[in-house]
Amino acid sequence: MKKKSVFLAAIALLGLTCAQAGKHWPVIGQGVNLDFSTTEVNKIGYDPAYYDVFKAAGFDSVRFFVKQGIDPMHYRDAIDGAINRGLTVVITGFTGRTHGKQAFVDYWRNFAELYQMYPKELVFEIMNEPRMAGHPVEHGYNIQVMDWLGTAVIAIRETNPTRIIAIGGPHNNHADMLVEYANPEFLNYRLPDGTGFEEDENIWGIFHCYNPQGWSHTHETKSVVDVNPEWKKELTDVLDLGHRWSKTHGKKVLLSEWGTKLPNHRHEVLEYFNFMRDEMAKRDIEWMYYCGVFNNAWTFALYNSEYGFEKTADLVEALTGETPKIMTLPTNQINNSRFMMDTEHWYTNGHVTLGTADGQGVDGSTALRCMVMFVWPEEPVIYQQTNPQWRFYSDGFYMLQLREGNTYNISFHAKTTYKTKLRVQLGDAENEPILWTSEPVEIDTELKKYELNYVHDTASVDNARFSIIFSDRHSQIILDDIKLVGSLPQL
């Protein structure tokens, strides 16, 4: 009886410590992953408009990836954009084991030093899904992951003594991995003052939950009941693990990813959303839904560049309890528009050789180099459209779309070694009719921005093609920051 009383007193003390620390913590509340940054898959890129529409839909915080190897300064606009709008921003490390431990630690040391003066609303989640980062799922490697995380904490604390640092377990940040490994046995680092994991009230635990995964990640529509008749218990078992970790260590726990593909039966998705919200509230677990944006072909995304929340408003309301106040804002729908992943998502008819040019783009960034070989028997062209061979392709979901009545602003930066011309063309990728071709645009030898406008006054196109046609053989053109941004007509 005495032992039980001591145990309950200890739990109460941990809870009090957690509550006191919580007064100084940033608010996560109802959060959302905005998966716009380049990782190992290309996406649509950052646009501050995403923050405006999601904040107006009732979300309190956002989470996005920062990729190891990319200058931490690259993410400053996206971090500032969130904080300036009153949103807490969680940045999570998309890292690679092949770079080694020291590179991982140095990256976070540099990141922390650059952002040390930022307010508490910037949270560092230092490794997203170690398995995705290349860490094998074996006990020895799991211990190694925790060693990397602990050493990174030491590096961050050099300049950010009270910054919230969020840590998950190995594998794919499953809750059981959090319980088994995110504890003093494996997070046994020590700061110069002798303190460590146990004493640091600003260490949070994170976990991910996509259960039942045979439903949430399926390539075909299934009933969640067919996948697991006891799907609700499967979910509460996971949430209970996260809650138990929090109570055991007296630390906040955050569900930083959860969700499902949206083509699943709508009534089941809504039931799942409502159930998860209620169960997380019971356990005082704040959350960040995956995901808000990625590209128009991504089946998890709540927001579409052309239709905004018009087709998902009921889902958003189920998540936040609010109807979106802004249904859509103009955003770019071109993928890999800044060529951070070489030529991914860009194709040619064989008359143009594509490559990249370091330092030739906007602000010295990487750009696309187009070497024109032939101009007959067909015109040389590069283009972007949904590729059915794309690893994440799903029927009925397409990257580029044209909405009836929209005005499209088309912009790009370009230069050439000798003055040449190009045209921009829009078409239907399904049966290849040409919808519009611009007048020739003469490209200068100095990098400059070019803009065109197109009004789509015919029926909407679900699967569009964006093309650039070149005119001169043996020409070389540099392209960067290509955008296709649609705006609804002003009423």
pLDDT of 101 strictly over 80:
yes
User: Are 312 and 301 within 8 A, CB to CB?
Assistant: no
Give the residue carrying structure tokens 């999570």. Answer: 92
CA angle, 484 as apex, 482 and 490 as ends, to 5°?
145
pLDDT for 350-386, tens place per residue? 999 999 999 999 999 999 999 999 898 999 999 999 9
Separation between Cα atoms, residue 301 and residue 309, nearest integer Å:
10
All residues at 6 or more sequence positions from 55 whose CB lies less than 8 Å from its CB, including other chains:
85, 86, 87
* % pLDDT > 90, the chain: 88
pLDDT of 16 strictly over 90:
no
Could you tell me the domains of the chain? 2-320 (3.20.20.80), 347-487 (2.60.120.260)
Its sign, for the CA torsion 257, 124, 301, 303, is positive
181 phi and psi angles, rounded to 5 deg: -115, -25
* Three-class SS state of 92: strand
Separation between Cα atoms, residue 88 and residue 26, nearest integer Å:
7
pLDDT of 1 strictly over 50:
no
pLDDT for 185-202, tens place per residue? 999 999 999 999 999 999
pLDDT band at 490 (very low <50, low <70, confident <90, very high): confident
CA angle, 77 as apex, 445 and 57 as ends, to 5°?
120
Q: Which letter does DSSP use for residue 444 in this model?
A: P
Residue 3: what pLDDT?
42
Separation between Cα atoms, residue 112 and residue 147, nearest integer Å:
19
Its sign, for the CA torsion 55, 453, 434, 473, is negative
In this prediction, residues 285-296 reach a mean pLDDT of 97
Instruction: Please list, residue by residue across 247-267, b when 16 or more beta carbons sit within 10 angstroms of its beta carbon and e when fewer do.
Output: bebbbbbbbbbbbbbbbbeee
**Amino acid making up residue 408:** Y
pLDDT of 40 strictly over 90:
no
Mean pLDDT of the chain: 94
User: Between the CA atoms of 7, 9, 10 and 16, what dihedral angle is there, to the nearest 10 degrees?
Assistant: 150
Its sign, for the CA torsion 168, 170, 176, 179, is negative
Distances from the Cα of 52 to the Cαs of 186, 293, 320, 429, 487, in angstroms? 40, 13, 15, 31, 16
Which strands, in side-by-side order, build the sheet including 407-416?
A: 352-357, 367-372, 476-487, 407-416, 448-455
